[in-house]
Structure formats: structure tokens, C-alpha cells
Amino acid sequence: MQPAAHAAKFDTPVAERFRSFGKSIFAEMTALAAAHKAVNLSQGFPDFDGPAIAREAAIAALNAGHSQYARMIGVPALNQAIARRWARAGRGEIDPEAHVTVTAGCSEAIGAALVGLLNPGDEVIIFEPYFDFYTACAAMAGAVPRVVTLHPPAAGGQAMGGRAVPAGSSSSAPAHFWFDESQLRAAFTPRTRAIIINTPHNPTGKVFSRAELELIATLCQQHNVVAISDEVYEHLTFDAAQPHISIATLPGMWERTITLSSLGKTFSLTGWKVGWSIAPPALTACVRAAHQFMVFSGSTPMQHGAIAVLDSGDEYIAGLKELYAANRDMLSDTLRQCGLTVFPSYSTYFLMADHTALGYESDRAFCEHLTKSVGVAAIPPSVFYLTSGMGKDLVRFAFCKKAETMREACDRLKRGLTR
Ligand code: GLN
């Protein structure tokens, strides 16, 4: 009797704050892909290595005895390299000690920013579909998410007239995921403490336009709200007409923005877990307050590897963008041939498509079929929405793979999906 009662009481020992999240979709789909030997276009990670210069520097650091804790805010030369990169991108001079904090990947930076800034009951605005960390880390902070929906562009590639904040001013502006200005305005309440911006945007491949960022900036200033800007895909843009803009560089925004980025996407080193935050001292204090008690510091040898690549990696990035743009085009063409509606991806290494023409009842059903029977794994995006029912028509594919991997995936899609 005693054990049974005990068992019932501790049936679900997971803390309530995590219960609604279940298992991460990335872990779930990657495991399913492995089990069915599917080409894994679900979780976004490259199937090739990052620049040799980074690896060699990390190995040298290991051999040189850099195996103890790094400084809590980062190995000094890495803070300096991050500050130099920020300046080289034309974003201004920053202080590596006062403004830069090195974290265990951008994932930890997201957690540290939210947990370090938000009090229980504070509201945080999040655009859906979103990277799942945002809502989970908001829950860790006891904060309440308020969502603003990004809507797919109309089929046929037309820009939505009227309702969207225009990317350019003309109606020939490229089709992109858009949000309703009035929904954004209504999301700001007296309890709003922060808004999370993710540009370039995972999972849609959207790059937020200057007009959109200016609207967000104006609302942040009117309502005294902090912008937390996740920019990990900042270098993976494919369309010169849609450049990446850091919201911290807009007038009045430096003082109220925490910018987050990392090494992982830019240099194909997702497993290194080297990320950072850039923010004015008052907001840096929030990030560090949490960071010191989450991990204390990031991995020391990996930070040394990062130093080596941050100043010298531009050629690598150029090659990567070429590969990803070609992969995106090949995958988009294939999916269209298979009957899906493909939404344009201007950045990141993801694209979204609508699968409804193929007759599956949900994104989960479609992704399961894809993984188990077609041999290609993808992500069911409904997990990226808080609004119930949204995302069921969609599927997200990652295209951060070797050309030959993408060709194999496309062959399988053609064989498995075209009748
Ligand atoms: N950012 C990656 C993606 O969206 C996955 C990150 C993770 O596995 N947590 O696919």
C-alpha cells in the first residue's frame, strides 16, 4: 500500500512549470529520424564540420592546458573578438567587459536573459511560430507569454495588402510572413516587461524589415519594454533586398535591448555551445545575475576556438550562404513538384511549406509519414504556436546539409510523395 501511494503521489515528478511542454520536438524528431534511417531535415544542424581554424585553435587550447573554468563573463579575448565583430558590422563601438557576456550557446543566453530580467507575472510578447525555448524559458521565469501571430504570405507569392506592416512600401514587395499591427499594439499591456524578436526568424525564414522593427521599437519605448533580440541567423541571409537589421541599432533602442547570438549557425558549430549576449550595463547585469548560477561559465577550450574564427571567418560564411541558397532552391522546387505550397525563405536554414493539398490530417501525421515511409524527417510546426489549431497545415524543413544529402532527401521526397 505504501509503495502504491508513493508511486501515485510521485507519478509525474516533473515540475508543473514544464509539464505542458513535454519532450523537445528536436530530440523527438532526431530520434525518430535515426530509428527509421531517415535523412534528418528536422532538427537544424549541419552534417559537416565548421572551419578548420576553429578546431585547430580549440585543440591547441586543450593541449595548452585551458581546461579550468573560464572567467564567468567569458575568456577576455573572446569578449574582445565579439565586440570587434559588432563594430565591423557597423553597429558601433562597444565595451567587451561591460557589454558582452559569453554564454553556453545562445540557448543559455535566452534562459539567462529571461530568468534574469522577468519577475513572476510579468508579460513577455512572443511572435508565433517561435523557437520553443522562448515559452519554456518564460515559464521558468514565471512570466506570461502574449503571442503575436506571423501569418503565411498568400499563395502565389503576393504581398498581403493593407493588413501587414509592409516590408517595402510597394505592393510588389516580396511575399513574406507578416503580422497584424493591431494585434501587436494590443499585446502591449501595463504588465509587459519584454518582447522577444527573432530576426532572421526560425522557423519561417523571415527577415524583419526596418518598418516592422521601427514599429516594435516605438512600442517598446512608449511602454518601457525591453527588447530581447535573438539574432543567431544574422549572417545567413540570402536576399540583398532584405538585409538583417539589429533592433539595438535603431534610435533609442541600445539602452533597452539585449542582443543574443552565437557561433553555432554562422560557423556550423552547433555542438560547441558558444553564445553571447550584448547589452548595456543595466541589462547585462540581468543576464549575468542568472548566467553565473546557471552554468557559471561556458566551456573554456571552445571559447578559445571561437576567438580564432570570429575575426577570420568571412570567407567561410560566404561559401556557406552559397551552399544554403542552392539547397533551399533545390528543396523548394522538389516540394512544389510534390504538390506542397512552399513559402519563400529569405534567411536562416529553414523553410516552411503547406502540406494540405496532400490530404494528411495534421502536421504530426504528415511528419510521421515523411519520416517512417518517405525517409525524410521534418518538424511539425504546431509545437511552435500557442494559439490552438495553428501550424497544423505546415511543415518545417532544415536545409543546412551537404548538397549530396539534400539530393538524397529530394530524391526520396519525389519517389515517396509524387503519385
Ligand atoms: N535551433 C535548432 C532548430 O530550430 C534546434 C535547437 C535545439 O535542438 N534545441 O532546429
How far, in Å, is the centroid of ligand 1 from the Cα of 162? 34
Question: pTM of this prediction?
Answer: 0.94
Co-location of 32 and 90 in the same domain = no
Atom of ligand 1 at shortest distance to CA of 27? 8
- The Å distance, Cα 33 to ligand 1 centre, comes to 15
Distance between CA atoms of 205 and 363, rounded to whole angstroms? 18
Q: Are residues 274 and 341 in the same domain?
A: no
Q: Does residue 168 share a domain with residue 283?
A: yes
What's the domain count of the chain? Answer: 2
In a domain, 1, yes or no: no
Nearest-CA residue for atom 8 of ligand 1: 26
Q: Whose CA is nearest to atom 1 of ligand 1?
A: 44
Q: What is the CATH number of the domain that holds 238?
A: 3.40.640.10
Give the distance (Å) from ligand 1 centre to CA of residue 112.
17
What does the alpha-carbon distance between residue 152 and residue 378 come to, in Å, rounded to a whole number? Answer: 18
161: CB partners within 8 A, 6+ apart: 171
Question: In this structure, is residue 5 part of a structural domain?
Answer: no
Residue nearest to atom 7 of ligand 1 (CA): 26
Cα(324) to centroid(ligand 1), Å: 17
Determine the Cα–Cα distance for residues 383 and 226; give it in Å rounded to an integer.
26
- Ligand 1 atom closest to the Cα of residue 107 is 9
CA of 386 to the centre of ligand 1 (A): 18
Closest CA to 229 of 255, 264, 199: 199
Show the domain range for 352.
16-45+315-417
Q: 204: helix, coil or strand?
A: coil
Looking at the CA of residue 42, tell me the nearest atom of ligand 1.
10
User: In whole angstroms, what is the distance from residue 346 CA to residue 139 CA?
Assistant: 31
Q: Is 8 within the bounds of a domain? A: no
Answer yes or no: is 270 within a domain.
yes
Report the C-alpha gap between 244 and 164 in whole angstroms: 19
Going by alpha carbons, the residue nearest to atom 3 of ligand 1 is 44
Q: Output the tens digit of pLDDT for each of the chain's 419 residues.
A: 444 555 556 677 899 999 899 899 999 999 999 999 999 999 999 999 999 999 999 999 999 999 999 999 999 999 999 999 999 999 999 999 999 999 999 999 999 999 999 999 999 999 999 999 999 999 999 999 999 999 999 854 433 333 444 444 444 455 899 999 999 999 999 999 999 999 999 999 999 999 999 999 999 999 999 999 999 999 999 999 999 999 999 999 999 999 999 999 999 999 999 999 999 999 999 999 999 999 999 999 999 999 999 988 899 999 999 999 999 999 999 999 999 999 999 999 999 999 999 999 999 999 999 999 999 999 999 999 999 999 999 999 999 999 999 999 999 999 999 86
Probe target for ligand 1 pocket from 270, 345, 383, 399, with the most ligand atoms within 8 Å of CB: 270
Ligand 1 center to 41 CA (angstroms)? 11
* Whether residue 382 is found in the same domain as residue 280: no
Is residue 186, in this structure, part of any structural domain at all?
yes
- Do 155 and 251 sit in the same domain of this protein? yes
Which residue, chain included where needed, has cell 510572413? 177
The alpha-helical segments, DSSP class H, found in 36-132 are 52-63, 76-88, 96-99, 105-117
Atom of ligand 1 nearest to the CA of 131: 4
| Whether residues 289 and 331 fall in one domain | no
Closest ligand 1 atom to residue 398 Cα is 10
Q: Which residues are near ligand 1 (CB < 6 Å)?
A: 26, 43-44, 131, 202
In this structure, the residue with its CA closest to atom 4 of ligand 1 is 44
Q: Are residues 185 and 287 in the same domain?
A: yes
Same domain, 81 and 226: yes
Measured CA angle at 413 (ends 412, 416), to 5 deg: 80
Kindly state whether residue 395 falls inside one of the protein's structural domains: yes
Do both 408 and 285 map to the same domain?
Answer: no
What Cα–Cα distance (Å) separates residue 99 from each residue in 75, 79, 171, 276, 286? Answer: 14, 9, 40, 10, 12
Ligand 1 atom at shortest distance from the alpha carbon of 379? 10
221 and 195 fall within a common domain: yes
Give the ranges where 295-417 is alpha helix by DSSP (H). 300-310, 314-337, 363-369, 403-417
Domain boundary among 290, 312, 334: 312
Q: Which residues contact 57 (CB under 8 A, 6 or more apart)?
A: 304, 305, 307, 308, 309
Question: pLDDT tens digits for 238-294?
Answer: 999 999 999 999 999 999 999 999 999 999 999 999 999 999 999 999 999 999 999
CB 357 within 8 A of CB 341: yes
For residue 330, give every residue at least 6 positions away whose Cβ sits within 8 Å of its Cβ, in sequence order, or none: 403, 406, 407, 410
Q: Which of 285, 312, 339 is where one domain is finished?
A: 312
Q: How far is the CA of 78 from the centre of ligand 1 (A)?
A: 24
Domain of 404: which CATH number?
A: 3.90.1150.10
Burial class (CB in 10 A: 0-12, 13-18, 19+), 239: middle
Residues 247 and 300 in one domain: yes
Contact 135, 386 (CB under 8 A): yes
Q: Please tell me the distance from the alpha carbon of residue 409 to that of residue 40, in angstroms, as a whole number.
A: 9
Is 367 in the same domain as 270? Answer: no
Nearest residue (by CA) to ligand 1, atom 2, is 44
Domain boundary among 312, 341, 358: 312
**Measured distance between the N- and C-terminal CA atoms of the chain, rounded to whole angstroms:** 58
Q: How far is the CA of 3 from the centre of ligand 1 (A)?
A: 39
